[in-house]
Homo-oligomer: A and B are copies of this chain.
Amino acid sequence: MSSLLIVGITVFVLASFIGFEVITKVPPTLHTPLMSGSNAISGITLVGAVIAATAGGDVLATVFGFLAVTTATINVVGGFLVTDRMLGMFRRPKRPDEEAS
C-alpha cells in the first residue's frame, strides 16, 4: 500500500470521528435543514468535477466532466440556498432581559 493511501485513510478516519462527534442531540425540527446542509457540503465533489472537466483528453471524459460540474453545482448552490430558506423560520422573540441591552 502506498503511503499516500495510508495518509488518506488516516485523514478519512479522523474526519469520520469528527463527523460522529460534531452531531449529538439535534431537535427533530432541524433534521431536514441539517440533512440539506450536510448534503450541500458533500457537493465538495465539485472540486473533483472541475478538475475532470478541465483536464482535456478524451472527449467522453470531458462530457462526463461537464455533467459532473453541472450536477455538483446544482447540489452545492441549490443545497446551501434551500437550507438557508428553511432556517429562515427560526426567529426568536426578544426576551424582556434582552431588550435592555
Contacts and interface: CB of A to CB of B under 8 A. Distances in A.
Q: Is the interface of A mostly helix, strand, loop or mixed?
A: helix
Interface of A: 7, 10-11, 14-15, 17-18, 21-22, 24
A50 to B, nearest CB: 21
Contacts of A24: 24
14 contacts: A7-B7, A7-B11, A10-B11, A11-B11, A11-B14, A14-B14, A14-B15, A14-B18, A17-B18, A18-B18, A18-B21, A21-B21, A21-B22, A24-B24
A14 B24 CA distance: 18
A7 B7 CA distance: 7
